Structure 1
Amino acid sequence: MPVLEFADGTTASGFRLVVGADGAWSKVRSLINDVTPQYCGIHIIESRISPANPVYTQVQSRVGKGMMLIGGPNKMITLQNLGDESYRMYLGVRVPADFATDGQVDFSDTDAMRTMCLSTAFFGDDWADEFRGYITNATDFRPWPLYHIPPAAVAWPAVPGVTLVGDAAHLGPPSGEGANFAMTDALYLADKLAEHGDWVDSDDARDRAVRGYEVEMFERGAKLIQRGVDVTEVFYAGDAPRPTVELFRGKGVPVLEKKGV
């Protein structure tokens, strides 16, 4: 039976079912398999544009209540409207896995981060002044390296009393579906437990409920990861944003192109 050990030295045990919902670097996952997340080759440099920011009105007129993707070879800028009316900005770049930890980058130095992000290696003069202006006025830089587990790893022999949901089960590159899939996992697991109402007292009923959930989740989770991997390759292609345009065009989305822009 699993025993949970917390950072303050306390422990807890006696659980009928432990559900690992502890994200990319799940501790609970180790009870099920030995899969280690793999670096995707992409780091996101996350920042924010608040209503008090000088470029806020400009960003608002562009993005509104939605989000905007700005693509270039091997890199991307994403802007997303948040519930507090601010905008989260993600600067995605292809860099080594130790980019944020090798001592060459100080994310706490805002001015230095702006200078680096506006350098030729990142978002240099070949990017539009408007978008470089967003970076010039950005604040609170934070690193977010992207990891995933292989799609084939989303399958394991049943482990009595333990299962996984969300990124703990099927960590993939961001595809816009992660949170929805995590909630779907929780719903399906709850439904299966409800179908086997005696699971609280019966190990067999508990294990059948969990396995019913897992079999369905395995297929969904593997496909989710693969979509994320495929989308990442499109967004960060060497000739981006052309593959992104073709992706949307292939799905019947109207595409307006302006030559020379």
Structure 2
Amino acid sequence: MLRPFRPLLPANVLDVVVRAFCLIRSRALGGVGRRRGRDFERLFYGACHRGGLSLTEQAGARTVGGQQSASGFWHEVDAASRSIRHVTHWELKHLSAPVAKNDLLIFNGKGLEFHQGSDQFVARVPLLRFLLSGGAVEGEGRQYGALWGIMVIEPDRFPLPLVYEASVRGAAEWLSPLDVARVKDLVAWACRPLQVVLQELGDFSVAGREGLRTGPTAVRAARAVVDIQARLGEVVLDQLEEEWPGWVDETSESTWGLSGCQGSY
């Protein structure tokens, strides 16, 4: 039975997250060096096309949704989209070593730059940020991502937006009601737009409001999110794979064929 729920992401963005996860989960990419990076980009752009997400920027761009950075620095952008409902900003990483916290820190700084450089109309549109990695992300990087609302997608962890969607849609019956409640609260918080993060910080710094998830409270929440993803995310993924065997590979193959890339890694 479907439960009443609040969608975390627009349908087309959610579709891209599903396809991107399936691609990296099934190891659908080969090549070395620059070729591997270019093929990774092509795979992702294929996922965006198949999911109905029209990109305004691709690799080598220097704007996000047509907006320049506040400092005027030409920060490189891997992918971005803009609509009246949301702006998305994507960082693509396919490294031989795990993605470090510093990579998340740099990406976060870019987001702040582009947001401050936006005109007022665009600045009001929710900015959703994603880091897609073909390999593992360090634990501190996951925690940093949750703290700043950056949604990390990596092969061996079920992405937080998908943990949330499966749980609230009733597709995670192996979870207890208490676990589902924690997902609705903490995971939704970890996937918030940049504007919400900044509003929280502003209220915390100026107004001193009580009950905000900021400061030490936010650090504890981010750690809890990492734990939820490791424990409950694995349970949700196991249930989905038992009920729909092969869904990851099938989704990967349908997206992979569209991109025109070949090989495995």
> What TM-score do the two structures reach when normalised by structure 1?
0.25
Higher strand share: 1
> What TM-score do the two structures reach when normalised by structure 2?
0.25
